[in-house]
C-alpha cells in the first residue's frame, strides 16, 4: 500500500523546529510493510496545503496529515481539508462537550475560539485525542483515505499508534505485509568498498532491500525483507544476512540497536575483566562512551586524560627519556601508557590512545591525524598506528572508535 505524510506548520518551513512527527509515522508505516512515497511539509496556508494534498492524493492510497488543529486563527488545516474535498463543516456537540469538560477539569477559562476544535468536515470519522483538546478525523476520498491528527508530537505519536494504524489496517485489509529487518554496523570499510563487497548480491532478486546509512565513523547496512507471511520474510532475511555476514564479517562490530561501547562492555562483563583507560588526543571520549553503558562501573575502574607530558610521567609512569627519544606520539609511549594505567589501577587490561588531533601539532614524520593506540594485559601489549585525515573532532571520534575496536578484537581473540 502506498501512503504519504503531510506535516503542517509555519515553524516547519521557517526552520524554527525540526519535524518530529514524520519520522515516527513513517517508521510505523514501514514496519507494516507499507510504503511512504513522500513526506511533505507546508506552512499554515490553504493554497500550499491544497497543492500538497491534491498531489499526494493522486499517488497514495492514504495520506496522513499532522498539525494545524489548534484553536487559534493560524490553524486552518480542518477548514483547508474541507475546502479541498468540497465538504461543509459541522459542529460535533459530543466533542464540544468533551472539550468544555476538559477545560473545566484543568481549571482553564473557556473562550469561544476553542469551539473551533469541535468542527469537522461532513462525513468525518472522529479520532479521539486521549491527551489534549484537538481530536483528529478521517475521511474516505474515493478509494483513498485522508487522516488528520494534531501536530503536538506526544499527541501525534499516541493517536497514530492507537487510532490511525488500526484504522488503516481496517480500511485496507490484507494490505499489510510481513517485514523482517536487520542492521549491520561496520567500521573500517568505506561506503563504496562495502558496495563493492556486496556486488552481485541482487537484493531485488532475493526479495530484500539493502540500505546504506553512513553514520561517521560507522557505516550501517540495513537489510529489509517483506513478504506475505512472517515465515517467508524471515527466511528471505536470513538467507541474505548469511551472505552479507560472509562477505563483510571482518568489519561487522554490532547488530541492530547494539553500539560498539555496548558490545565491548558486554564482553568485558561476561569475561569478568576490569579496564583502565589512558587517553591523550581523545581527551576522555573513550571513557565517556563506555560510561554511556549502564553498569559500566562494574568493569571501568578509572580513566586518565594525560593531556600533558607531565601527566604521562606522573600518572602513567612513562619515563621522560622515552618521551624525549620517541615523542609523546609514538608506539613506545602508547604501550607504556597502556601498561602504566593498568598497573596504576590494578586492572586486568589497560587501553591507551595518543595522537595528534590537529589542526596544528603535526610534523613531516608525524602529520596531523597520526594516532597510536595500545592494549596491555598481564603478559603482552598490542599496538596499532593510524593516520586519520579529518578535522579535530572527527579525528577524536574515529580514534575512540579504533581504540574500542582494538579492545573488541582482543576480547574476541581476533
Residues 42-61 that bind its own copies (CB under 8 A): 42-43, 48, 51-52, 55, 59
C-alpha distances out from residue 21 to 5, 149, 154, Å: 9, 10, 9
Residue 208 near its own copies by CB under 8 A: no
Angle between helices 331-345 and 309-316 (to 10 degrees): 40
Residue of 93, 109, 142, 257 interacting with its own copies (CB under 8 A): 109
Interacting residues with its own copies between 140 and 159 (CB under 8 A)? 152
Residue 39 Cβ vs its own copies, minimum distance, rounded to whole Å: 4
- Residue 212 CB burial class (10 angstroms; 0-12, 13-18, ≥19): middle
Cβ atoms of 373 and 402 within 8 Å: the answer is yes
Length of the chain: 414
Cβ atoms of 179 and 33 within 8 Å: the answer is yes
Interacting residues with its own copies between 110 and 129 (CB under 8 A)? 111, 113-114
Please state, in angstroms and rounded to a whole number, the distance separating the CA atoms of residues 296 and 286: 12
Residue of 89, 100, 193, 269 interacting with its own copies (CB under 8 A): 193
Residue 162 near its own copies by CB under 8 A: no
Residue 6 Cβ vs its own copies, minimum distance, rounded to whole Å: 10
CA terminus-to-terminus distance, the chain = 46
Residue 15 near its own copies by CB under 8 A: yes
Residue 324 near its own copies by CB under 8 A: no
Residue 255 near its own copies by CB under 8 A: no
Residue of 190, 228, 230, 320 interacting with its own copies (CB under 8 A): 190
Question: Grid coordinates standing for 293?
Answer: 553503558
Question: Grid coordinates standing for 23?
Answer: 519520522
Please state, in angstroms and rounded to a whole number, the distance separating the CA atoms of residues 265 and 259: 10
Residue of 310, 320, 324, 363 interacting with its own copies (CB under 8 A): 310
The window from 40-48, 86-94, 229-237, 377-385 that contacts its own copies (CB under 8 A) reads 40-48
Residue 374 near its own copies by CB under 8 A: no
Cβ distance to its own copies smaller for residue 199 or 379:
199
Residue 181 Cβ vs its own copies, minimum distance, rounded to whole Å: 9
Residue of 65, 237, 285, 404 interacting with its own copies (CB under 8 A): 285
The window from 229-237, 250-258, 299-307, 406-414 that contacts its own copies (CB under 8 A) reads 299-307
Residue of 250, 292, 320, 412 interacting with its own copies (CB under 8 A): 292
Residue 368 Cβ vs its own copies, minimum distance, rounded to whole Å: 11
Question: What distance lies between CA 212 and its chain's CA centroid?
Answer: 13
CA dihedral 83, 175, 130, 103 (to 10 degrees): 10
Q: What is the largest CA-CA distance in the chain?
A: 87
Residue that has been written with the C-alpha cell 490484507 in this structure: 174
Residue 257 near its own copies by CB under 8 A: no
Residue 398 near its own copies by CB under 8 A: no
Residue 161 near its own copies by CB under 8 A: no
Question: What distance lies between CA 135 and its chain's CA centroid?
Answer: 30
Residue of 262, 283, 327, 362 interacting with its own copies (CB under 8 A): 283
Cβ atoms of 49 and 42 within 8 Å: the answer is yes
Interacting residues with its own copies between 72 and 91 (CB under 8 A)? 72-74
Cβ atoms of 238 and 227 within 8 Å: the answer is no
Residue 362 near its own copies by CB under 8 A: no
Residue of 101, 140, 162, 213 interacting with its own copies (CB under 8 A): 213
Residue 145 Cβ vs its own copies, minimum distance, rounded to whole Å: 18
Cβ distance to its own copies smaller for residue 28 or 121:
28
Please state, in angstroms and rounded to a whole number, the distance separating the CA atoms of residues 135 and 119: 10
The window from 109-117, 237-245, 252-260, 332-340 that contacts its own copies (CB under 8 A) reads 109-117
Cβ distance to its own copies smaller for residue 87 or 305:
305
- Residue 145 CB burial class (10 angstroms; 0-12, 13-18, ≥19): buried
Cβ atoms of 335 and 381 within 8 Å: the answer is yes
Residue 107 near its own copies by CB under 8 A: yes
Please state, in angstroms and rounded to a whole number, the distance separating the CA atoms of residues 181 and 30: 11
Amino acid at each position: 500500500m502506498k501512503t504519504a505524510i503531510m506535516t503542517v506548520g509555519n515553524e516547519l518551513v521557517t526552520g524554527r523546529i525540526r519535524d518530529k512527527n514524520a519520522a515516527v509515522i513513517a517508521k510505523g508505516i514501514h514496519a507494516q510493510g507499507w510504503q511512504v512515497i513522500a513526506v511533505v511539509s507546508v506552512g499554515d496556508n490553504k493554497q500550499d496545503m491544497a497543492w500538497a494534498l491534491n498531489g499526494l492524493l493522486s499517488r497514495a492510497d492514504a495520506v496522513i496529515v499532522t498539525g494545524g488543529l489548534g484553536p487559534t486563527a493560524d490553524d486552518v488545516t480542518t477548514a483547508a481539508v474541507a475546502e479541498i474535498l468540497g465538504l461543509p463543516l459541522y459542529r460535533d456537540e459530543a466533542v464540544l462537550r468533551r472539550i468544555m469538560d476538559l477545560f473545566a477539569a484543568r481549571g482553564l477559562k473557556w473562550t469561544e475560539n476553542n469551539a473551533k476544535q469541535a468542527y469537522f468536515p461532513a462525513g468525518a470519522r472522529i479520532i479521539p485525542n486521549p491527551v489534549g483538546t484537538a481530536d483528529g478525523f478521517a475521511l474516505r476520498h474515493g478509494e483513498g483515505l485522508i487522516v488528520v491528527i494534531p501536530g503536538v508530537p506526544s499527541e501525534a505519536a499516541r493517536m497514530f499508534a492507537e487510532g490511525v494504524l488500526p484504522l488503516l489496517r481496517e480500511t485496507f485489509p490484507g494490505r499489510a505485509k510481513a517485514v523482517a529487518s536487520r542492521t549491520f554496523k561496520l567500521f573500517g570499510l568505506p561506503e563504496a568498498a562495502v558496495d563493492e563487497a556486496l556486488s552481485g548480491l541482487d537484493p531485488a532478486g532475493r526479495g530484500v532491500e539493502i540500505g546504506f546509512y553512513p553514520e561517521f565513523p560507522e557505516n550501517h547496512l540495513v537489510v529489509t525483507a517483506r513478504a506475505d507471511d512472517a515465515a517467508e520474510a524471515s527466511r528471505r532475511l536470513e538467507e541474505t544476512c548469511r551472505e552479507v555476514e560472509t562477505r563483510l564479517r571482518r568489519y561487522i562490530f554490532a547488530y541492530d540497536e547494539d553500539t560498539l561501547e555496548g558490545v565491548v562492555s558486554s564482553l568485558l562483563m561476561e569475561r569478568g575483566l576490569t579496564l583502565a583507560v589512558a587517553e591523550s588526543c581523545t581527551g576522555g571520549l573513550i571513557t565517556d562512551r563506555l560510561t554511556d553503558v549502564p553498569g559500566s562501573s562494574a568493569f571501568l575502574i578509572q580513566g586518565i586524560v594525560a593531556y600533558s607530558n607531565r601527566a604521562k610521567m606522573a600518572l602513567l609512569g612513562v619515563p621522560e627519556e622515552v618521551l624525549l627519544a620517541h615523542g609523546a606520539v609514538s608506539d613506545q609511549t602508547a604501550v607504556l601508557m597502556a601498561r602504566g594505567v593498568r598497573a596504576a589501577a590494578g586492572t586486568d587490561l589497560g587501553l591507551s590512545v595518543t595522537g595528534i588531533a590537529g589542526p596544528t601539532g603535526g610534523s613531516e614524520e608525524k602529520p596531523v591525524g597520526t594516532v597510536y593506540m595500545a592494549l596491555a594485559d598481564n603478559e603482552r601489549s598490542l599496538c596499532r598506528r593510524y593516520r586519520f585525515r579529518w578535522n579535530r573532532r572527527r579525528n577524536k571520534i574515529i580514534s575512540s572508535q579504533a581504540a574500542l575496536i582494538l579492545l573488541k578484537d582482543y576480547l574476541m581473540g581476533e
